[in-house]
Amino acid sequence: MHLSQSTVSQQTRRLEDLVGKPLFQRDTCTVTLTRDGEALQNYAARILDLMSEAVEHFRAPALSGHVRLGLSEDFASAGLTAALASFLRRNPEVELMIEIGMSGDLFRQLDEGRYDLVLAKRLHGSRRGSVVRSEPLMWCVGSQTSRMESADVVPLVLHPEPSVSARKCCKRWKRRVDLTASLCAAAA
């Protein structure tokens, strides 16, 4: 930042005088934020975010029109909801139509021209669209699982077709069963 240590110290003292509270805790080796310093840091981050939003508002060309968005049930979350609400606040001339559905249906409807954009799950290896986020498929079991007497029957709760997760789950399960059968046959 091309500032001398004394200049930074002087600005820090001015800031602490302005708020009337110590913002840093100092000892011979370290300098850390106090609780008030952390609170001020959070306010500063919000101020910078708001400033960036204001600059973007005046720099970017105004957006307008209709956007038809298809969302997988998994993505209709609070985080995405807040991001979409922020986008609409910054772009009041945009009309956003959102529909929630199963990934397979959404891809088919995208191909049919029903949507302009789809956020949905896809199978690993698919080249369709751009990856925004990846997460592993996890097996979850209930408390009754340890009391199951037979591994021949495993009750599964899955989304109906055309669920990408259900398809992936069934493929993995089939591979496991095939592998187990192969291992058992080899051991016999």
The reply to whether 74 falls in a domain is no
Ramachandran angles phi, psi of 159, nearest 5°: -65, 150
The per-residue pLDDT for 149 is 60
Does pTM top 0.95 for this prediction?
no
* Residue 31 within a domain: yes
How many structural domains are present in the chain? 1
Say if residue 174's pLDDT is above 70: yes
Is 119 contained in some domain?
no
79: in domain: no
CATH code of residue 2:
1.10.10.10
Name the 3-class secondary structure at 33.
strand
Confidence of residue 184 (pLDDT cuts 50, 70, 90): very low
Tokens 């009309």 locate to 95
Residue 105 domain flag: no
Query: Residue 127: is it exposed, middle or buried by C-beta count within 10 angstroms (0-12/13-18/19+)?
Result: exposed
The enclosing H or E element of 66 equals: strand 65-72
| Residue 35 within a domain | yes
Q: What is the pLDDT of residue 16?
A: 93
Buried/exposed 16-37: b ≥16 CB within 10 Å, e otherwise: beeeeeebeeeeeeeeeeeeeb
Higher-pLDDT residue of 120, 153: 120
State residue 99's pLDDT score.
92
Does the residue 185 lie in any domain?
A: no
Domain holding 46, by residue range, is 1-60
Is residue 119 within 8 Å of residue 81, measured between CB atoms? Answer: no
What tens digit of pLDDT does each residue of 8-40 get?
889 989 999 999 999 999 888 888 999 999 999
CB 67 within 8 A of CB 97: yes
